[in-house]
Homo-oligomer: A and B are copies of this chain.
Amino acid sequence: MTDPREQGNAPKTPSAGSVAAAGLSCPVPAAAGDRVLLGHGSGGKLSARLIRDRFLPRFSNPALAPLGDGAIVPLGDERFVISTDTFVVSPLEFPGGDIGLLAVHGTLNDVAMMGAEAVCLSSGFVLEEGLPLEVLDRVLDSMAWAAGEAGVPLVTGDTKVVERGKADGLYVNTTGIGRLREGFEPAPDRAEPGDVILVSGAIGRHGIAVMSVREGLGFEVEVESDTAHLGPLVAGLSVACGDAVRVLRDPTRGGVASALNEIAAASGVHIALDGAALPVPVPVHAACEVLGLDPLYVANEGILVAVVRPDSEESALRALRGHPTGAGARKIGVVESGPAGMVSLKTGLGGSRVVDMLPGDQLPRIC
């Protein structure tokens, strides 16, 4: 293991022995000239490779291994979920929301997708010198409102300031802790042939809303971000269907396509989508046509994908539709046995095409 601290003093200098004793494997050395690309942050294949090649070998431990939206850790006599996310959306404010709403909703939603009830949040800010304090105030208002609406206190925080030109207004990390429900443990590897795929609302709103105000890309479109707390939908599903809910996922970076590919790969199943059933709003469809995008890859921040046992399809849809955020819930596909690890889309004319993971970079800094 390369040790960057050869000059360090005794207590902080690692030795090969101490590293091996801690069970950390040897990292893969980088080829000279390799650099971080925007696509490494896209939520697609490059992101997955960065995590698999650089992070996992160094930090391997039982809680990290499942690679869901967070980790499951026993604390006291219960089990909790811990999830963290840093938000770097550009611009900071966009139709239907801002970075403050995303920072609270995004992490609460990751906690919810693990099946847990959020207990508290922390936040860590990087502020750029020169940021108008009124912008910070608006972002904090949004965070306070979203945390208050969800009933989850923000219990601790940290603020750093960097020189002008070393950030983009502000970045914010939130970490959430949630209590796991008994007998309710959705996970990406639990989809089974015969299960149905549900989505809780319209696809592609968040990504298109952000793109519509992105510098150099601005276009007129009446789409607002769908940013919303999905905890109430999950609470409803847990009561209505319990363990018949096999997988939950919020399709953010990389969109519905990437989320379903991860599920298909983790569960070793085939997911067959019904193209005619996909709820793509007309203005999202129109914007995607103009931009040459596929709505299945566009980010969402207020919908969930649920894989549910077939006998619970009706009760799950009823539970989702019982909350305003899930009013547009519908079935969009089914789980089949093969070809395993693949997602396909039935098109209007009876044809079918493969829906791959996002190969690189669709649009950076969407959340």
Contacts and interface: CB of A to CB of B under 8 A. Distances in A.
A82 B159 contact: no
Q: SS class of chain A's interface: helix, strand, loop or mixed?
A: mixed
Interface stretch (A33-41, A268-276, A291-299): A33-41
A15 to B, nearest CB: 10
Interface stretch (A21-29, A187-195, A235-243, A306-314): A21-29
A289 interface: no
A151 interface: yes
A18 B146 CA distance: 10
Contact of A40 (B4, B11, B127, B175): B127
A3 to B, nearest CB: 7
A19 interface: yes
Given A35-B132, A120-B63, A148 B27 contact: no
Nearest to A85: B158
A241 B302 CA distance: 51
Nearest to A146: B12
B58 A143 contact: yes
A72 to B, nearest CB: 8
Interface residues of A, number: 122
Interface stretch (A92-100, A259-267, A332-340, A343-351): A92-100
Interface of A: 1-5, 7-12, 14, 18-19, 21-24, 27, 29-30, 32-42, 47, 50-51, 54-55, 58-59, 61, 63-64, 70-71, 73, 75-78, 80, 82-88, 90, 93, 95-98, 101, 119-120, 122-134, 136-138, 140-149, 151, 153-163, 165-168, 171, 173, 175, 177, 179, 224, 227-228, 302, 323-325, 364-365
13 contacts: A2-B137, A7-B96, A12-B146, A29-B134, A37-B129, A61-B155, A70-B156, A77-B78, A84-B122, A84-B123, A124-B173, A165-B165, A177-B177
